Amino acid sequence: MAAIHSDSSCIFCKIIKGDIPSFKLFDSDKTYAFLDIGPLSKGHCLVIPKYHGKTLQDIPDEHLGEILVVVKKLATATGSTNYNVLQNNGRIAHQVVDHVHFHMIPKPNEEEGLGVGWPTKSADMEELKKYCEEVKSKM
Ligand code: AMP
Ligand code: ZN
């Protein structure tokens, strides 16, 4: 198993270590889940890799494999049929805590849960095609 990378100043690393309390929902060798203390709705929880990293690209693949499985378990356990899974990277993308985390946010009604702005633009199909090829070539 790869070594767990930790940051002593990180609030979520402290939660994983048990140095600050959390309402723990799941705990395995690579993954930890707990209730969000500033919930957007009842059941709002966070699933994190135990490996410390700020954004998704900082986390090795082998530390991400269980995350969505746990998100799915939590959606089921909270009785959520309408919900959003959210993972913010970077300040302008609303990331506040610099340890990768996936939100599972139940959407029980219009008022509670995640509100999303979705400012779509119409796309030029030729440009999309070119861009698709460009991105694919870098993967
Ligand atoms: P983000 O904006 O994606 O970085 O979200 C950070 C989330 O962490 C917010 O929803 C906070 O309410 C939550 N949070 C911060 N500190 C704690 C904590 N000690 N325990 C549980 N959730 C926390
Ligand atoms: Zn951390």
Distance 120 CA to ligand 2 centre (A): 34
For residue 39, give the ligand nearest its CA.
Answer: 1
101 is catalytic: yes
Distance 1 CA to ligand 1 centre (A): 28
Q: List, chain by chain if needed, residues with CB within 6 Å of any ligand 1 atom.
A: 11, 22, 34, 36-38, 46, 88, 94-97
Query: By alpha-carbon position, which residue is closest to atom 11 of ligand 1?
Result: 38
Query: What's the CA gap between 50 and 82, in Å, rounded?
Result: 27
For residue 12, give the ligand nearest its CA.
Answer: 2
- Mean pLDDT value across residues 77-104: 98
One-character DSSP codes across 25-52:
EEE-SSEEEEE-SS-SSTT-EEEEESS-
> Domains, the chain, ranges and CATH?
11-137 (3.30.428.10)
pLDDT of residue 2: 44
Instruction: Give the whole-number percent of the chain exceeding pLDDT 90.
Output: 97
Rounded to two decimals, what is the model's pTM? 0.96
Checking 106-111 for CB contacts under 8 A at 24+ apart, the result is 106/41, 106/42, 106/43, 106/44, 106/75, 106/78, 106/80, 106/82, 107/41, 107/80, 107/82, 107/83, 108/41, 108/42, 108/80, 108/82
The enclosing H or E element of 65 equals none
Q: Is the pLDDT of residue 1 over 50?
A: no
Ligand 1 atom with the smallest distance to the CA of 22 is 20
Query: What's the CA gap between 28 and 21, in Å, rounded?
Result: 17
What are the pLDDT digits (tens) for 101-111?
Answer: 999 999 999 99
